Structure 1
């Protein structure tokens, strides 16, 4: 306790109002923790790309994803144009007792959860790529 850490794409105690609303509603409906922020971002970016492309054609949507920026519940995420790598914030969490400072919600009904210690914008962990992605013509 207070020593184990995790770096993840979101934390249940990150205290963003939108994420808290989603997490609480999911827990109430399924009695399980919401751990699908990456999937949430992926699907919402896909929906945005389809809307922007005004098409569901795979090639058209793929090109619409390139460079797309989306304001997600975890922060701003972007689809890197060069290799379609999703760049998103990272969260540092420390395992602590529920009810202690910064731990409103526990994980898996254990009475313990991750206190958010730091949030890093996507650009901090972004690495150059050597990917030479081949695009359809």
Structure 2
């Protein structure tokens, strides 16, 4: 149960990735060390409203502040938005094991929004050897 006057944040490290076809993917990183791979990353597709709610839960706002903001933005009653967000959080918790935690004081734990144009490899490796098998691109073109 969420305490309405506490600051809320996600228990996992999350990242939203927006692609050129307007697809938004939520990436759940399971406290990984090193390079992410299929075993330690969980993804799911989202709509814009779900992505907005996920980003608002960043440790700097209380649950009531988030509901008030969404109520004002979408011109709906507080209770209507409250019901929808509680259902959304319940589904995220039960289906994807994404939990919301609370804290007494604001402390930012951001959900980063990454645009497709900024996605690039973060790790590259080169393997050096003292022995060439003479079939590489360089030596196969040499004549002896």
The TM tier, using the shorter chain, reads under 0.3
Q: Which has the larger radius of gyration?
A: 2
Choose between structure 1 and 2 for higher RCO, CA contacts under 8 A separated by at least 6 residues: 2
